[in-house]
A and B are shown apart, each in its own frame.
Chain A
């Protein structure tokens, strides 16, 4: 049963810990992404997103735990794994002295599944000139070339590390369209990290929030947005909150105003809040992914 479940997983990190000296970048991280899912990895700077992605790509080795992609141990069979994975780094460090066409020819030799038609289609879509030297490409064009190289061998898994950071809105749009096209057409598994939460909302069906190397949250985006709510309560004079609801993400009290964000909102919760606290007023508001992300991080900071 477990083997069967594991066989359907595209990405699996199990109890992974990675330290750099005394600092723990990834702490006992367990993450399982089934095939065909699009997973957005979010978190503040230094949360361990890039380290997690480097662990997935076999660039870094975990001190504890194991990493598997499509059931392949990343460190036992790196070549086999890399042939089935497309990777777009935050800053593409391609051979700057090569021409675009040369770089494509170079990468093509390593992938038995290289799809020339798809490569040509993507080059055309992104208007990339194969005669141009990589060093002469703008940041946006380099990002697009990186995506072409990641997609042209028809990978089953696509891993993107903050791929749209620093891109102008137009290029970002084209880039995301390219990713979306690849996901929809081939039902690929995608894991991407991003600070741009509107991109995450647009692309991901599942989201994971990483904070100080730990996974605070792993849920479906729509489910999360449906169940999370911000509640604004006004306390009676001289009263303090007596009851903290379950699934409390963040709360803030200023004078009589009590703001709280809960991840598991139910209508019953309002009744309980009214019953357990001396409230003058109660108001429920929806949240977008960015507000929710901020509340999770602020709530965690207060706790720690």
Chain B
């Protein structure tokens, strides 16, 4: 399993580096901006925390791209370069191969959320700036997570079915940006009395359902599929 994980890391090393840039880039940019804005004096803690909160939002949004590309690349990349045929003739089971790919994406997702949560729930509060409590942020965060699950699931399905990582990623982004919101609107219109407050909840349910369904069908497709 460790060997498979190493191979998947090597296969996605470039993307992971890009992911680090997208994850930390907004923080670096905001730091430069806050220093530039207050130069030559040192910025106050409130300036820092406001900028860090902005950066954490942008970083989280940009990191969704990393997850989409990673999920889209995970299976289809080996099929595109035909090394999937080589791997299929080695002893690891399809389940082990799949688990290693999933683990890599989950580790990346975990790292993204660890960075985000440590900034918003630990660094910013220690600077003395009051922020919304975790409970208050639960709503927007859960909607965001649902969107991530949908993006990841659709890219994962695309990767399991298609031969091109780019097409798989585009499919994931299209589903998350177009299909998901449209479906959420339909669900909202059909199953609620039109209350605006219900819309994020519908979005969350749709995002999680579509994402999980796509993930499960993509995994099943990979497990049953013969390479090439």
Contacts of A78 in B (CB 8 A): 91, 93
Closest to A78 in B: B93
Contacts of A107 in B (CB 8 A): 90
Interface residue? A89 (CB, 8 A): yes
Contacts of B6 in A (CB 8 A): 106
Closest to A80 in B: B91
Interface residue? A243 (CB, 8 A): no
Cross-chain contact of A87 among B81, B89, B227 (Cβ < 8 A): B89
Interface residue? B10 (CB, 8 A): yes
Question: Which residues 83-102 in A have Cβ within 8 Å of B in the complex?
Answer: 83, 87, 89, 92-98
Q: Report how far A95 CA is from B90 CA in the complex, Å.
A: 13
Question: Which residues 68-122 in A have Cβ within 8 Å of B in the complex?
Answer: 78-79, 82-83, 87, 89, 92-98, 106-107, 109-111
Contacts of A106 in B (CB 8 A): 3, 6-7
Give 1 or 0 for each of A44-60: 1 = CB within 8 Å of chain B CB: 00000000000001011
Interface residue? A172 (CB, 8 A): no
Known: A87-B89, A89-B89, A98-B10. A61 touches B226 (CB 8 A): yes
Contacts of A79 in B (CB 8 A): 91-93
B: number of interface residues (CB 8 Å): 20
Contacts of A97 in B (CB 8 A): 10-11
Question: Which residues 37-87 in B have Cβ within 8 Å of A in the complex?
Answer: 81-86
Closest to B93 in A: A79
Contacts of B92 in A (CB 8 A): 79, 110
Q: Report how far A96 CA is from B10 CA in the complex, Å.
A: 12
Cross-chain contact of B83 among A59, A96, A109, A111 (Cβ < 8 A): A96
Distance in Å: Cβ of B85 to nearest Cβ of chain A: 5
Known: A59-B88, A59-B89. A93 touches B3 (CB 8 A): no
Contacts of A83 in B (CB 8 A): 91
Q: Do the beta carbons of B86 and A110 come within 8 Å of each other?
A: no
Q: Report how far A97 CA is from B10 CA in the complex, Å.
A: 9
Contacts of A87 in B (CB 8 A): 89
Question: Which residues 22-70 in A have Cβ within 8 Å of B in the complex?
Answer: 57, 59-61
Contacts of B81 in A (CB 8 A): 93, 95-96
Q: Report how far A123 CA is from B227 CA in the complex, Å.
A: 28
Q: Do the beta carbons of B91 and A111 come within 8 Å of each other?
A: yes
Contacts of B85 in A (CB 8 A): 59, 89, 93
Distance in Å: Cβ of A135 to nearest Cβ of chain B: 10
Cross-chain contact of B86 among A60, A61, A95, A109 (Cβ < 8 A): A95
Question: Which residues 237-257 in A have Cβ within 8 Å of B in the complex?
Answer: none
Contacts of A92 in B (CB 8 A): 86
Q: Report how far A107 CA is from B92 CA in the complex, Å.
A: 10
Distance in Å: Cβ of B84 to nearest Cβ of chain A: 8
Distance in Å: Cβ of A70 to nearest Cβ of chain B: 14
Q: Report how far A215 CA is from B62 CA in the complex, Å.
A: 58
Q: Report how far A96 CA is from B90 CA in the complex, Å.
A: 16
Contacts of A96 in B (CB 8 A): 81, 83
Distance in Å: Cβ of A238 to nearest Cβ of chain B: 59
Known contacts A83-B91, A93-B84, A106-B7; 11 additional CB pairs below 8 A are A57-B89, A59-B226, A61-B226, A82-B89, A82-B90, A87-B89, A93-B85, A97-B10, A98-B10, A110-B91, A110-B92
Residue ranges of B at the interface with A (Cβ–Cβ < 8 Å)? 2-3, 6-7, 10-11, 81-86, 88-93, 226-227
Q: Which 6 A-B pairs have the closest CB atoms?
A: A109-B3, A93-B82, A82-B91, A110-B91, A93-B85, A79-B91
